Amino acid sequence: MANVADTVLRKALGMLSAINEWISMTARNSAGMLLIAMTAIVLVQIEFRYVLNDSLNLLVIWIIVVFWSETFGMVDRGFSIRAASFERPELA
């Protein structure tokens, strides 16, 4: 009986290890791509700021507007979430 349970647990461990390896490889590659994108954005900003003498003011304003709108949307959605909440018992 213990031998069967050991075999089942080893197979489950093998499957979980394969899933974990795939997730870690995907996350590592995604992090690398995001790092490349971040570096490219910084280089473009440096080129516009110091080489072309233009600080991309319109781009900065657009980013601020998008972040502000998304922030307020996230706060509104956060206040409407009730799934993970418990009702507070009234204190007598």
pLDDT tens-digit readout, 20-60: 888 988 888 888 888 888 888 888 877 877 777 766 677 77
**pTM for this model (two decimals):** 0.47
Residues 6+ apart with CB under 8 A from 55: 48, 49
Mean pLDDT of the chain, nearest integer: 77
| Residue at 92: amino acid letter | A
Integer angstrom CA distances of residue 54 from 30, 42, 87 = 31, 14, 55
Q: What residue segments make up the domains of the chain, in order of their start?
A: 2-80
- Taking the alpha carbons of 30, 33, 38, 41 in that order, is the dihedral positive or negative? negative
- Please tell me the predicted confidence (pLDDT) of residue 38: 86
Q: Give the integer Cα–Cα distance in Å for 79 and 48.
A: 40
